[in-house]
Structure 1
Amino acid sequence: MKKSLAVIVSGAMLLLAACGGGSNQASGEKKEKTVTIGITQIVEHPSLDAAREGFIEALKDAGYEEGKNLKIDYQNAQGDMNNNASIAQKFVSDKNDLILAIATASAQAAVQATKDIPVLFTAITDPVGAELVQSMEKPGGNATGTTDTHPDAIKNTIAAIKTFIPGVKKVGIIYNNGEPNSVVNVKNAKEALEAEGLEAVETTISASSEVKQAAESMVGRVDALYIPKDNTVVAALESVITVANDKDIPMFVGEGDSVKRGAFASYGLDYHDLGYTTGKMAVEILKGKKPADIPVGYPENLELVVNKKAAEEEGITLTEDMLKDAKIVGE
């Protein structure tokens, strides 16, 4: 009986020791915190998608990877402002660690929804004018990010219209005047057109479903088209491209991704790189830096992008001299 009791006691002690050892091992392991980032995007189109992909790639390169230590909640408003506001409010109620807002309307909704959660923005035309930051150098609040406005982009693209289209006089502009970014872009485009001695012919829309009709209204009234960085129009860009190709209207745009889709030419930037730069800002913030202390970033490089297939479709004659500094797509 005594022997049996000793065996039982000995076994119990071994069991306790084993449990204790497991407990110590578990307590010694440090579980890495999962970071949650909400991404709000006003509408789908290649430039904004590329910015989002670049952002996620920068996080991955810094060691933040989905399924391991990173959770991403991506929401697209599909151009609906009510959805846009609801997405921002959802991210705040979910207490995300950080919010990425892609395009001006998304950024405005996010900044209005929270003063506590860090907000990063990208693909923004005028962060100060949109009241997202106090200044480009010193943002001041809980938001910072990157702008897609290079000071020479619109001016160079408008100048290219005269280079590629001899005798051009009137340039049609289609845009949504409800987008603050578009209003700024069109203002700058009109100033550049005036400086080149060209006349702007404007048509405004409020939804992507109106884009084709707006393009058709330009036929016979303009010598070329200029589509600014307008999310509503770019989301339905193929409608404009169809009209431009059918009616031989040279089509210039505000960014390079639209040239890849079938527009003729633009001085643009790489939105993937812009998103990547924003992602590096996110890493700084996740490591403790305040958005207020991170200046707004600019695109560093501009390049002339020309679509040779679009040139054929739109009746444009190209020379070697015209293309000497261009990146060629659509061959």
Structure 2
Amino acid sequence: MLWHAGNAEEEAVFLRPLVDGLAKLGYVEGKNVIYEHRFPAEQPERFKAMAAELAQLNLDVIITSASAAAYAAKAATKTTPIVFIIVADPVGGGLVNSFSRPGGNITGYAVVDVSPKRLQLFKETFPNLSRVALLINPDNRSTAQRFFDQVVAAASPLDLTVQPIEVLGPRDFERALSLIPRDKKTGVITVFDPMFFNERRQIAQVAMAYGLPVMAPADVYVKAGALMSYGPNLVDLFRRAATSVDKILKGEQPGNLPVELPIKYDFVINLATAKTIQMDIPATLLARADEVIE
């Protein structure tokens, strides 16, 4: 398994459901399956080196978490089956040939753009919202540009302007968020990015200190303190990935297994955070939320 964070503890929120999903299908660690975990800690050279290392181990399958790991694994081997999880636009990025027939030695679980719905919910929550500050990781330039274009397209019909905010590494969030106006008319948007996932608690803490509402891409950010999220249930994706791994281990070719998309989408609100930043959440939005954290 090629992850993106620095250790198993940082990946626990996804590692556990994946391993549990495999266990329910009969794959018990230490009994009939051995897991080789690699944690690149977001360092590009480590992704490449660790993918190459896994490719040399004669594994039955390589599972990857997020885009950087998936592309590193594909570059490292053309024979070992690969199952990727959480990759945006795998066709446009050249990871697979198509969703229906990915081809080669790879398949997986993609995420799709839901920016229109996320911004709609953000605007409904804060009718005075006129600007969204989009956090961008310049180390993932191509992905960041795609997310920026998607958010700009979704913002236009809502009369929202988009302010890109580059975050130059894990220690740069305080500086980056200090650039965002604290005028009760500006909200923060975070997108799928491994660094933002790893630093989700820091993002939430700094945003709360500045009184900024954050709309995140998944519930794990809200459980770390972000104000709200709308997006795919990522834990469910990792749990479902066990099914594809099982099929491959039983002889199916990954290139013949369609790339799958999220089934569950969740709208989650953190009321404790709303109180901290002194923002009221309309009762109609609370009633529509899949989960409210108090």
Q: Could you tell me the TM-score, scaled by structure 1's length?
A: 0.83
Aligned to 1:171: 132
Whole-angstrom distance in 1 between the partners of 2:10 and 2:278:
26
CA 1:50–1:77 in structure 2 vs 1: closer, same or farther (change >3 Å)?
A: same
Aligned to 1:141: 104
CA 1:122–1:327 in structure 2 vs 1: closer, same or farther (change >3 Å)?
A: same
1:279 pairs, out of 242, 245, 248, with: 242
Aligned to 2:164: 202
Aligned to 2:5: 43
Whole-angstrom distance in 2 between the partners of 1:62 and 1:70:
12
Q: C-alpha displacement at 1:318, in angstroms?
A: 1.9
Whole-angstrom distance in 2 between the partners of 1:102 and 1:182:
18
Amino acid at match of 1:186: F
Does the Cα contact within 8 Å between 1:126 and 1:181 map onto a contact in 2? Answer: no
2:50 pairs, out of 87, 95, 106, with: 87
2:117 pairs, out of 139, 153, 156, with: 156
- The structure whose Rg is larger is 1
Does the Cα contact within 8 Å between 2:232 and 2:262 map onto a contact in 1? Answer: yes
Q: Helix, strand or coil: the match of 1:257?
A: helix
Whole-angstrom distance in 1 between the partners of 2:242 and 2:148:
29
Aligned to 2:155: 193
Q: C-alpha displacement at 1:49, in angstroms?
A: 4.0
With 237-246 and 117-126 compared, the bigger mean Cα shift is at 237-246
CA 1:47–1:195 in structure 2 vs 1: closer, same or farther (change >3 Å)?
A: farther
Q: C-alpha displacement at 1:132, in angstroms?
A: 1.2
Point out where structure 2 has 5 or more consecutive residues left out of the alignment. none
CA deviation string 1:99-131 (max 9, x = no partner):
001100000000000001001100111211221
Q: C-alpha displacement at 1:47, in angstroms?
A: 9.5
Q: Helix, strand or coil: the match of 2:35?
A: strand
Structure 2 residue 28 is the aligned partner of structure 1 residue 69 = no
Aligned to 1:12: none
Does the Cα contact within 8 Å between 1:125 and 1:184 map onto a contact in 2? Answer: no
Aligned to 1:248: 211
Q: C-alpha displacement at 1:239, in angstroms?
A: 2.9
Aligned to 2:257: 294
Q: C-alpha displacement at 1:201, in angstroms?
A: 0.4
With 116-125 and 217-226 compared, the bigger mean Cα shift is at 217-226
Q: Helix, strand or coil: the match of 1:130?
A: coil
CA 1:47–1:298 in structure 2 vs 1: closer, same or farther (change >3 Å)?
A: farther
CA 1:252–1:196 in structure 2 vs 1: closer, same or farther (change >3 Å)?
A: same
Q: C-alpha displacement at 1:55, in angstroms?
A: 2.1
Whole-angstrom distance in 2 between the partners of 1:270 and 1:84:
25
Whole-angstrom distance in 2 between the partners of 1:91 and 1:246:
42
CA deviation string 1:6-61 (max 9, x = no partner):
xxxxxxxxxxxxxxxxxxxxxxxxxxxxxxxxx00112699964333222222111
Q: Kindly report the root-mean-square deviation, in angstroms, between the aligned alpha carbons of the 2 structures.
A: 1.9
Q: C-alpha displacement at 1:325, in angstroms?
A: 1.2
Does the Cα contact within 8 Å between 2:107 and 2:258 map onto a contact in 1? Answer: yes
With 246-255 and 219-228 compared, the bigger mean Cα shift is at 219-228
Amino acid at match of 2:118: T
Q: Could you tell me the TM-score, scaled by structure 2's length?
A: 0.93
Structure 2 residue 200 is the aligned partner of structure 1 residue 212 = no
Q: C-alpha displacement at 1:62, in angstroms?
A: 1.3
With 129-138 and 178-187 compared, the bigger mean Cα shift is at 178-187
Whole-angstrom distance in 1 between the partners of 2:77 and 2:155:
40
Whole-angstrom distance in 2 between the partners of 1:233 and 1:50:
15
Q: C-alpha displacement at 1:187, in angstroms?
A: 2.1
1:326 pairs, out of 275, 289, 292, with: 289
Aligned to 1:32: none
Point out where structure 1 has 5 or more consecutive residues left out of the alignment. 1-38
